[in-house]
Chain A
């Protein structure tokens, strides 16, 4: 086996530069020019090659008799079987395989016959791909440029009357340089005689690609461009990060990058509106990545709210303290509750501070005014005469101020009858725009990365979820224009936001209660997206599925097992 680097580095045999000296002898390998041992080896090979060449010519002559007679394929094979003994065939195959591996350079003639239909043409193109693969599997070299080192030219055109072609025509030039000129039929026949199963190749495409052979390299070349370039040179087909970015990629480059994000400087200009998560710390049990935002916990209103909440909560908290005072296993003991003192500001002290302030405030209205000016939020100062609110309970329940914090602790302990959790993001929900919708059951998208398909996909989902958020989002974090992938990542982000709109931690503005999107989702059984669950489950397809007991065999089996226990 050869090292991958050898496989990867373009060997000089495959040099395509037309200005190189056109000797029959292959130029020595560049990496090993200084290596005497290998040059010796190479000269030995040369001798071998020359001998082969002679053999090949003989064989070729023998074969060319058949090639000259126009017969249909089946007949040819029959003839081969008749005329050529197994031994001869084996010998012929052996030689040709060697030739293919060592010193064949195949060029595919891109020109078509003039009078060819579109359908016929696409068929031929497909055939060309197959042939290329087949020759690759023989380790033959396929070149994309015609030059005098080419040994075989394969053309879609008819090879019958080469003489009548233009002097400058490629095929004539090829003939003149003693290259072989094969039509597709001839090439197929040749491969067949070499026991290459073209039809099989078609189905085994993948397997071929995975092996680090020349075919694999060619595949890579198709993906990444010629590999003899200096890897460090900048390339047009690569987007290089210019600005602040986050990039997570497969270090072996076998997979597409996992994270690509790039921001223009103006996106990062506003420190309080950074497009990436930052620690804002915050207080009062809030998520440290969300922070307090406009909420000033030191304000009078919040202080009172918290003070009252804490008073109500005290009993419960102290029960917990008592239960877990000395043991991890909760017990109620007769021992008094021990509490360590602390010097920090707490809700009670803060409340008392405010009380003191408000009582002195009547005599010093100026000071109060200063204080309120410091506030960032817009609530109105409570009227001076009523420092305590009349109905603490009522205040607790009113959520006017805390509306934007759905998980705010100031609301009562049990705000809703039903516990809403942070939504499990579902089974497959991924960064793919196509699947992050509805109930999260949608399948992961196939991994083919067709750009066009991607944009289409996005459009479909965008349309469905509405564009309300979209406009807002694009202003918030403008992706670098003209870089499709960063665009894509950004869009995915916005999709995710939409998907979590019902989650309590969402930072986007409160979602209207009646969200039409909510009831849409993906039915795993019918493998369709639906807009309205109610309509979907009475659809014919779904009902047919539901009524087929065979679909639920395993579940029924389990239910039966469970019945045994009674």
Chain B
């Protein structure tokens, strides 16, 4: 819980004093009305809602004092969130500047509310700039919260974003029907498609950073505090070259060398590359038969979808395709040399008591439980695909009706959690992609192979536990998933969706409707689980991109509807939004006062 002493917000009196040091005139917006802020305290109190707890009132007053220019444009109403690096407040846009300029982004067109994000002063300006700049770059999509305005007063920076009337994930994840899940993931993938198209990795995709309103069927991706630009190794061969600090010269003469020596060069090259933290073997998969198989350099670049890659140095291209997950073995002087033993000792069964090698570092920003295996394995070449894994984790939560899905006290635990679901063999294979060996021994509850039927079975087991304990309400949509999985996993004989004993009292019309409904639910589930497996692909290169996932059959009805075309995504076309608006408003009013009576429910009893 928040309390004044706990919150990292200043005591207002302190800040007023510090204001008197200078009138830091670094920018146009700040310091306009610094003069009489003390008198304004009372005013703020009067505009603040009565029922706010005192400590929040104090925070808000402190914020006004930090950024005096705020009060000209915004009335802060409430505090709506607190993260690791910032607090978020809800405020009224007094002049309507923001709401009119950015209206396509607002879900409710008559809304005058904005969100004020106060970034904690302990963050470096570089970090703050990175976040704000990324938001600025990403203003083009209404699936991503745009940066409407920003202000700075000394070290205090605030960002103004649209206010989105969303629901907390916890309130709906148990009750969202399959088509609602479809909408949720659709919106999220649309947002990610846009973000990824700009070469940006969000890094922290999780329910709290995706604001979704299930009644509107709209979602928006927020919080780019941990986001970063993706390194594109493929479009810029110089990148890899630069990693080889001056080593490339020895390589340039390779054309005249024997195969054996080419291999040697290649190994040296790899070794040098692998010494670089920004590199990971996963981006340069070698061929098992290398170097005897030298193909034409050019044919590789033509098929971009293939897993193969090429390292180019000084005009020489070494190429290697397919994946070699087994430890690399070469034959030198008639002796088999396992590269595990490059240093003359076998470190696969133990570790040096006094470690002298460097610890590998990699960007691991994000939230535990949502981290892709390559992040956990400190892969130096992480891509936008890490966000797709996080989408998978959310989808798994929605389907299995569990949140959070992972406990993950640390990265090691996270890996072991993945092992318990997917089996350690899958993780071992994944580790090999990133040039790592993985041994797990004597942990009896972690099996070599995960669930026989993959995630479907895992979800089934989770639902089954609840169905035995009676923890779902009688109206739960989880029974649909449970029914689908029971039939899919244990009743392979029938492809047709099977209804549980249907009641004879039903009219033909009702019976037809019911069958149609179930058909639809069954097919949605089929594609949804396929989507789930695609998100949880261990190999980041094989994992589908957001765009590819959006083309999955699961989303057919949404693509056909054309409400969210690729075009409207970028250009924020007004016509679509107007339609939506009308339609959404009616829902809001409907759901707010009306709410359907329970009698409307057609419950089929046993």
Contact = CB atoms under 8 A, between A and B. Distances in A.
A485 B436 contact: no
Given A248-B437, A346-B470, A428-B365, A551 B125 contact: yes
B50 interface: no
B304 interface: no
A323 B483 contact: no
Interface residues of A, number: 183
* Centre residue among A251, A432, A543 by max chain B CB count within 10 A: A251
A552 B152 CA distance: 9
Contacts of A391: none
A558 B133 CA distance: 7
B335 interface: yes
A416 B564 CA distance: 35
A326 B520 contact: yes
Contact of A566 (B97, B445, B446): B97
Contact of A313 (B436, B473, B482, B587): B473
B358 A422 contact: no
Interface in A280-325: 281-290, 297-298, 303, 306, 310, 313-325
Q: What DSSP secondary structure best describes chain A's contact surface?
A: loop
A297 B469 contact: yes
A340 B518 contact: yes
Contacts of A231: 341, 344-346
Contacts of A229: 344-345
Contacts of B437: 247-251
Nearest to B497: A340
Contacts of A99: none
A349 B474 contact: yes
Contacts of A440: 84
B506 to A, nearest CB: 11
A220 interface: yes
Contacts of A315: 595-596, 598
B202 to A, nearest CB: 12
B493 interface: no
A345 B558 contact: no
B578 interface: no
B302 interface: no
Nearest to A533: B8
Contacts of B378: 258
Interface in A407-452: 407, 409, 413-414, 416-432, 439-441, 444-445, 447-449, 451
A519 B6 contact: yes
B122 A439 contact: yes
A287 B400 CA distance: 10
Interface in A195-225: 207, 210-212, 220, 223-225
B566 interface: no
A54 interface: no
Interface string B347-375: 11111111111111100111111000000
A563 B442 contact: no
Interface in B369-427: 369, 377-378, 400-413, 415-417, 420-421
A317 B122 CA distance: 42
A327 interface: yes
Interface string B435-449: 111111111111000
A239 to B, nearest CB: 5
B26 A552 contact: yes
A555 interface: yes
Contacts of B366: 424-425
Contacts of B328: 251
* Centre residue among B176, B272, B343 by max chain A CB count within 10 A: B343
A445 to B, nearest CB: 8
Contact of A248 (B136, B157, B216, B438): B438
A519 B148 CA distance: 30
Contacts of B410: 431, 492-493, 496
Given A285-B402, A497-B409, A323 B214 contact: yes
A248 B431 contact: yes
B206 interface: yes
Contact of A558 (B150, B247, B271, B521): B150
Given A330-B214, A426-B365, A563-B28, A248 B415 contact: yes
Interface string B540-584: 000000000000000101100101000000000000000000010
A329 B561 contact: yes
A231 B587 CA distance: 72
A313 B14 contact: no
Contacts of A515: 6
A426 B177 CA distance: 33
Interface stretch (A64-72, A135-143, A331-339, A355-363): A331-339
Nearest to A227: B344
Contacts of B403: 285, 287, 407
Nearest to B270: A252
A424 B83 contact: yes
A483 interface: yes
A346 B476 contact: yes
Interface in A242-262: 243-261
Interface stretch (A106-114, A154-162, A366-374, A522-530): A522-530
Contacts of A319: 215, 591, 595-596
Contact of A4 (B82, B267, B442): B267
A344 B479 contact: yes
Contacts of A298: 469-470
A479 interface: no
14 contacts: A2-B264, A212-B268, A248-B437, A257-B347, A258-B378, A303-B470, A317-B477, A337-B596, A407-B403, A418-B79, A492-B410, A537-B121, A554-B126, A563-B29
Query: Closest 5 interchain pairs by CB?
Result: A244-B442, A5-B332, A227-B344, A546-B155, A310-B473
Given A6-B332, A253-B343, 6 more contacts: A246-B439, A314-B475, A317-B174, A419-B81, A447-B358, A562-B148
